[in-house]
């Protein structure tokens, strides 16, 4: 009979984590192309159409990306940049009507996943 140590969580591989978080970022920021254009929108913009609740859900999912980045050892400075991206996205979202359009063009989750990817790739080359 083998015993398992429960003091250290077993994390999925970095590649699997990045793929999962990248899919979430795409879902939030660029899931669907608007027909006849090259503009993509995601669940973040759609959720922000529901003032209050939708915005909280969208920013909660954005915060999850930051939490996962922290679990993978992203430096504090980068985490602060990620939080700043979400804060700017929140500020844009708070403006009725104009914020809906702003969400389409300021893609905080895509920016944050790029920061996480940079960190993970740097760690892989060391």
Model pLDDT for residues 6-59, shown as the tens digit of each residue: 444 445 577 888 889 999 999 999 999 999 999 899 998 888 888 788 888 999
Contact present, 101 and 111 (Cβ < 8 Å): no
Under 8 Å between Cβ of 55 and 46: no
* Whole-angstrom distance, CA of residue 72 vs CA of residue 86: 19
- Predicted TM-score of the model (pTM): 0.81
Quote the CA–CA distance of 73 and 77 in Å, as a whole number.
11
Q: What pLDDT is attached to residue 10?
A: 44
Q: What is the percent of the chain with per-residue pLDDT over 70, rounded to a whole number?
A: 87
């Amino acid at each position: 009979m083998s015993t398992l140590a429960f003091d250290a969580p077993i994390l999925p591989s970095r590649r699997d984590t990045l793929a999962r978080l990248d899919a979430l970022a795409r879902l939030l920021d660029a899931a669907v192309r608007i027909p006849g254009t090259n503009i993509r929108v995601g669940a973040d913009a759609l959720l922000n159409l529901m003032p209050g609740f939708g915005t909280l859900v969208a920013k909660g999912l954005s915060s999850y990306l930051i939490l996962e980045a922290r679990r993978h050892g992203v430096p504090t400075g980068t985490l602060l940049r990620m939080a700043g991206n979400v804060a700017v996205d929140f500020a844009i979202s708070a403006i009725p009507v104009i914020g809906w359009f702003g969400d389409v063009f300021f893609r905080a989750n895509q920016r944050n996943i790029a920061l996480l990817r940079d960190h993970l790739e740097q760690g892989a080359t060391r």
